[in-house]
Amino acid sequence: MDQLVNDSTARGSPEIWLGAAYDLLIESGVDAVKILTLAKKLNLARTSFYWFFKDREELLAELISRWRDKNTGNIVRQSEAYAESIAEAMLNVFDCWFDSALFDSQLEFAVRSWALQSDEILAEVRHSDQLRIDALTAMCARFGVDPVTADVRARTIYLVQIGYLSMQTREDVAVRMRRITNYVEIFTGQAPQPRELDRFFSRHGYSE
């Protein structure tokens, strides 16, 4: 049993290799995610990698899967979450921009940078973009917005946020929070109620 434990420790685990790959992708881009580099970073034998992944391509596919499941998945889920009004529905989506457990902005930027050099990843990004826009369109439609307006609102909401990410905008949290009411009203045509804002602020540990 001790030998099995020692062997397992010496090899690491899928999560350890994937975590190191994630770090390299964020820090230096996809070209830095190489098996030998990961092995040195983890102080593990290069051959240990092959206990968990067939090759580098399978590891990269796992990174894309992580991005797809977390970032796209949570935008869709948040857009479908219960809300009393379209304004509160918008605040549910805004949770993604304030909670890294829901949306990983660093990974999003890294994957979009990766897409600049890979047609396959570009196709993945475009597919996810459409899924996200479709989800936001459906959210607007759920509250009676006509199809054309719902589509335009969804694109406005989404493209503004992607612009924030692409520009790597850095804002003080208090400044961002003060803008929330105006953003919601611009995006939805409806100002959030005080109780809706209070719930949103409470979720993110903010008080005015």
* pLDDT confidence of residue 9: 59
Q: Does domain 1-53 have CATH number 1.10.20?
A: no
Q: What average pLDDT does the structure give for the chain?
A: 93
More confident residue, 164 or 193: 193
Domains of the chain, residue spans? 1-53, 59-203
* pLDDT confidence of residue 113: 96
Q: SS3 of 171, please? A: coil
Tokens of 3: 């030998």
* pLDDT confidence of residue 172: 87
Angle between helices 173-188 and 194-203 (to 10 degrees): 140
Asked whether residue 140 carries a pLDDT value surpassing 90, the answer given is: yes
* pLDDT confidence of residue 100: 94
Q: Give the pTM.
A: 0.91
